[in-house]
A and B are shown apart, each in its own frame.
Chain A
Amino acid sequence: MSSWNGHGEKNPLAATVIGTVKGPGETANRYIFITSAPEAVKAGEFVTYLGGEGQPVLGKIIQIELLDHLPDRIFADVEIDPRAVAALIGFSEPNPEIYGVTVEIVGYFHPALGFVNPRQAPRPGAKVFLAEDELLRAVLNRKAADSQGAARLGDLLLRPTVPVVLDVKELVSTHLAILAGTGSGKSYTAGVLIEELLLPKNRAAVLIFDPHGEYGTLAEMQAHPAFRGEDGYSPKVQVITPDQIKIRISSLNFYDILTLLPDMTDRQKSFLEKAFSRTVQGSSYRWTIRDLIETVNDLDSSQDGSQGSSAAALEWKLEQLERSPYFSNHEHLAPKDLFAPGQVTILQMNEISQEEQQVIAAAILRQANHARMNTHKGKIQEHEENYLPFPVFILVEEAHRFAPAHEESRCKKVLRTILSEGRKFGLGVGLITQRPGKLDSDILSQCMSQFLMRIVNPIDQENLRHSVEAAGRDLLQELPALTKGQVIVSGVCINTPVLCKVRPRLTKHGGDTLDILGIWHQHFQPHHRHEQRLKQATPTPRRDPELVDGVGID
């Protein structure tokens, strides 16, 4: 045995032997090995055998089957050890059971090509080893844990000594999706990813759409010693609260405005469309709602100058829009306000209605896309508002609301464009959802890295099976059995899909479930009860005036 693909001299025979190959499995890239010691055999564990040229061929245990076993009736009596019965009739081996273990071949590792399938089953009788930590560290991850462009998400679930390190470049440029049921820790995982992106070694420019206001605790990063760089770097966390969100009306398109307005008749829509195109074309400056209302009035007025009925209705609706706190004629969140390297901007959108959230997100995404595209092509100069000279990464929470599967939404089209073209301009998107079944499957299939956590809903599981092929069926079957903080990582950010235990967060987690019982109990604490009694107490009645000589003194 000469070497392990340039990962240093190593004698693999020193590794733990856990079984012997029986032969090929049901499909071409599976094999079965036999073992009588099931302790070392865990589903999902990595094993190796020595390939034709002496290189270790990595595989993953996907199924464990009991081949020869004691008769069932022997197990029926709880007071007697089945082995004692077996020994009585002349079978006194210490491990009577024989297990057939199916292994899915991952391949041998080639430094340039990644994992290469040997397309050949191991020879019957070949020894199967438990893959060594050192080998796994070298071949699973694309980067060393502390190198630039590496994100350490956590450790292998079955090997706490092997870190799972993701390739940040692939992660942010080819988009990612975090798919997980409620309470399985998806925003926790996203928090860990953001932390990794903002570490001194990465210094990313990140924007988070945060409809629940869960990410505010990331602000702790600013003072945390782990995030301080040798050159004085420390990440900046900008939290934009709902009342700070301002989108300029002139950055919206006709359909955005249509979404924001209440139900309209066809006639009103047609007037608005005409008025919109005339306003936008006719003005070289930034148009306002007032301009739009005037154009509507111009279009729908009778010869005597009196206002038409459609114009009146439209005017009323547009005025409502003008009064919205989030849309303004002049104020605006420009790309330069939202993005900077080493900065995470958290756009808190709680309290904002769903329609408005849609339009805000669509406007910001569209603007970021244009900014990146035009800056990349050199069409925008440095002093302009839309100048964005660095790649950015945008994380969208509750992505199924912004890109629903079977209905139109303002964001969906923009997201689709970004997901298919964003890679060229350095605009990456991360989608987080608890209902993968409700997320548009075209959009999901464009996310090249996936983080799958516990999902029990069968419809969601089925949808994943169709759209997330990279994870492999065997891993997808694990979905309902995962526990909190366990994640299946697959896609381009890692060399082969792995089961990972997410590392503890450096900052506090903000998305915790409310401590319901604690609050209920608090209600009955003595000082609280006293306060409640004080509040509920009826005011003391006014004392009757005293009588002096039969006359009341008030």
Chain B
Amino acid sequence: MAEKRIGKVVKSNNHCDYVVELDDRLAVKDPPTVEDYAFGTFVKLESEQRHWAVGVIYNTQLFNPSFLNTGPRLSSDPSPFFAPDLQSEMRTLLGVVLLGSLESSSGQTYGIQGIPRVVVPIHTLVYRMSEEEIYQFHQDRLSRTQFAYYGLLLNYGGVFAPHVLRQILDQVSPMFYGQQRRALEILSRELAWKLTLGAMNP
């Protein structure tokens, strides 16, 4: 899957919780499709100079200033040609939590998981990560599977954190084999219990 730009950083809530504004058809020629910015999608924050961080979409929000603005209008539908600014006021915002970064040395790319040290600047571009990159991110320098952002995501991933995690596990598990895959499935089962039966008797 090709590298797909999906938006840019417009704000942050804290050091690892960023708000990304989704590109629309007025901003880019080829705007992202709904699959590109789905809940639980891995993204990388990169500018032309460098790679900043890897994150995951843990929340989305639709922003619409004209909501409840039901004043009298002459025409039933606003014309995009005569009022383009108003049209582009409508936004989709993506909540992205940073989980680490990708590192390359001697031809090998691997993930460094945990809160990144650097501060990602405003307007940094956000790309959807390829399957290959996701796989690389879940391997450490010695090519061992890692899932060390589990605790980080569970604590800072907002109200849907366990659900994001579960979705990620479902997405990531098939990339691995044998013991590593089994270990990931155990984590997935633990979460499944918490979300379903565990929720019945808190």
Contacts and interface: CB of A to CB of B under 8 A. Distances in A.
B151 interface: yes
Given A73-B193, A77-B186, A80-B186, A89 B151 contact: yes
A365 B113 CA distance: 83
B182 interface: yes
A384 B167 CA distance: 100
B190 A88 contact: no
B150 A71 contact: no
B200 to A, nearest CB: 17
B186 A85 contact: yes
Contact of A80 (B113, B146, B151, B179): B179
Contact of B148 (A76, A77, A79, A90): A90
B145 interface: yes
B186 A73 contact: yes
A84 B179 contact: yes
A1 interface: no
A88 B180 contact: yes
A526 B179 CA distance: 61
B16 to A, nearest CB: 16
Nearest to A85: B183
Nearest to B184: A88
A158 interface: no
Interface residues of B, number: 19
B151 A79 contact: no
A74 interface: yes
Contact of A73 (B113, B148, B182, B189): B189
B50 to A, nearest CB: 25
Interface in B140-183: 145-151, 179-180, 182-183
A79 B148 CA distance: 22
A79 B185 CA distance: 13
Interface in B114-157: 114, 145-151
Interface string A55-93: 000000000000000010110110110001100111000
B contact patch SS: helix
Among A73, A74, A77, A89, chain B packs the most CB atoms within 10 A around the CB of: A89
Nearest to A89: B150
A89 B148 contact: yes
B187 interface: yes
B190 A73 contact: yes
Give the contact-size bracket for chain A.
10 to 19
Contacts of B114: 90
Contact of B182 (A71, A80, A89, A90): A80
A71 B198 CA distance: 14
A74 B148 CA distance: 16
Nearest to A77: B186
Given A71-B190, A73-B190, A74-B190, A90 B150 contact: yes
Contact of B146 (A73, A77, A88): A88
B186 A76 contact: yes
Contacts of A74: 186, 190
Contacts of A90: 113-114, 146-151
A504 B98 CA distance: 69
Given A73-B189, A73-B190, A80 B147 contact: no
A450 B145 CA distance: 60
Contacts of B145: 88
A85 B180 CA distance: 8
Contacts of B190: 71, 73-74
B49 to A, nearest CB: 30
A553 B145 CA distance: 110
A79 B187 CA distance: 14
Give the top 4 A-B pairs by smallest Cβ distance, nearest first.
A90-B148, A89-B150, A73-B190, A85-B183
23 contacts: A71-B190, A73-B190, A74-B186, A76-B189, A77-B186, A79-B179, A80-B182, A80-B183, A80-B186, A84-B179, A84-B183, A85-B183, A85-B186, A88-B145, A88-B147, A88-B148, A88-B180, A88-B183, A88-B184, A90-B146, A90-B148, A90-B150, A90-B151
Interface of A: 71, 73-74, 76-77, 79-80, 84-85, 88-90
Interface of B: 113-114, 145-151, 179-180, 182-184, 186-187, 189-190, 193
Given A74-B190, A89-B148, A90-B150, 8 more contacts: A73-B189, A76-B189, A79-B179, A79-B182, A80-B183, A80-B186, A88-B187, A90-B149
